[in-house]
Chain A
Amino acid sequence: MAKNLRGDLQVASANRLVDGMVVFLDAAAQWTDRLDRADVARDEKAAERLLERARAESATVVDPFLVAVTEDGAGRIEPLSLREKIRAAGLTFAAIAAESVRYA
């Protein structure tokens, strides 16, 4: 059960400039492609500071923004919105493979 449905928990995300890949800001102010390493802001003040830090580190990424997340009992975080879930986890169907001549 999600602790927080209003999205008080936030992570900072962006797309990496060189390749567009989805990245998150970690506690060491580095961009990582791993959501589980993202620095989580736990209140509004922390979220503001997180976004500021993300913007300060935005030379290598495009347009950082905050993503509302939930955290389960095991400390695993997941974005709230479907859009951000898809950004974090990828396509919700299997794309056709380069060498396949049939789908699925």
Chain B
Amino acid sequence: MPLFREGSATPVVNDGPVPMPLAEWFKDRSSTAVALANTDDVTSLQPRLAGLALITLHFPKFSDGRAYSQARILRERLGYRGELRATGGVLQDQLPFLLRCGFDSFESDQKGFGEALLKARTLFSVVYQPTEDGRPTVSQLRLQHRSVTLSAAQ
């Protein structure tokens, strides 16, 4: 399936390491890439995260959102900084959520996916939830605005 990364409307060449299923990878940690099922416990990777360049998280169908939680735990709690790929045929309408949860590459064969990816980060200029994408939340912006107004008034 075509692979997309942010910044490119066309598929990129998939020339990275081939991810191994988690159970296999535990036996033989030769690969720097691991493929997780959405039922796998991501925290089991914790001691070995530094050696990983790619983790793939799977969306067996659009409506199964378990991998969003896996992604946030990897990024936010475990501090994983390598590539985080959404597999299983991602649709463009998932992109704003995926990006906010820390995914940075995507498998998709949907027409128009690449163009949608270019616009996905700006589709919503406002976010309410703090996540590791670092975007200031509405609450934070309001507090900032308030302190600016207060200091201007002083």
Are chains A and B touching directly in their complex (CB below 8 angstroms)?
no
